Amino acid sequence: MTRIACVALHTVILDVSRYRALYPAALGQVMASVYGGTVMGWSAAFKQVRADWDDYYADLDLAGDDGVADMWEGLFRTTRALFRLAGHGEPGHDELTALARSLPGRACARIDTVRDDARARIAALKAQHYTLVVYAALSAEHIRGLLIGGTLQRDIHDVIGLDTAERFDFDAAYWQAAALRFHVHPSGCLVIDPRADVQSHARAVGMNTL
């Protein structure tokens, strides 16, 4: 029987402090290469956006019935704000929409934000013949970018993003859908996440946790 290990991105793989430190310049590099201006200017614009991040999402509900649409809307707003704060004319709606959806992944592919102990953990799971899946409440493309930047993409079979799961909460329904997605019985799934509520929901559908 196929065995799947579902590994939490934020609490197991991603070094959040490193991500916060490196991401602005990486975003600046992408924007400067496509739209001109300076890396420093775009980076500074993003830092302003990040400081006011909650304001851009204040009327959005990622955990609601329209969570995926709200995620895309939030990314559209924050990406649009970059142009205003950097003093650049913004592109048309369709181009801006496509940019908003691809920019996080493109920027993350330029930086290594993997925790120092993550590679050893992944190697140990592979040695036990687990097929590895990474999940997070981000878009799937954003997750893939982080894996590319950390040179882990060849070790990971697939990712579950907010847009693929169409759910924000890692509840029992989330894990039932994950088992169906990968055509595996819940007893063949191992969820690796230190959060007690996530573990409880996974065990409720018959999965193992670590």
Q: Token pair for residue 122?
A: 């992944």
Residue 1 has pLDDT above 80, yes or no: no
- Full-model pTM: 0.94
Residue 147 has pLDDT above 80, yes or no: yes
pLDDT band at 176 (very low <50, low <70, confident <90, very high): very high
* C-alpha dihedral, 97 to 138 to 44 to 102, nearest 10°: -40
The SS3 call for residue 132 is strand
- Name the phi and psi angles at 114, rounded to 5: -80, 140
Average pLDDT over residues 98-124: 97
- Name the phi and psi angles at 64, rounded to 5: -85, -175
The answer to whether 167 and 70 have CB atoms below 8 angstroms apart is no
User: Helical H runs in the chain?
Assistant: 16-35, 39-51, 53-56, 67-86, 93-108, 118-127, 140-149, 162-165, 172-181, 196-204
61-92 residue pLDDT tens: 988 888 899 999 999 999 999 999 999 999 99
- pLDDT score recorded for residue 2: 79
CATH of domain 4-15+114-209: 3.40.50.1000
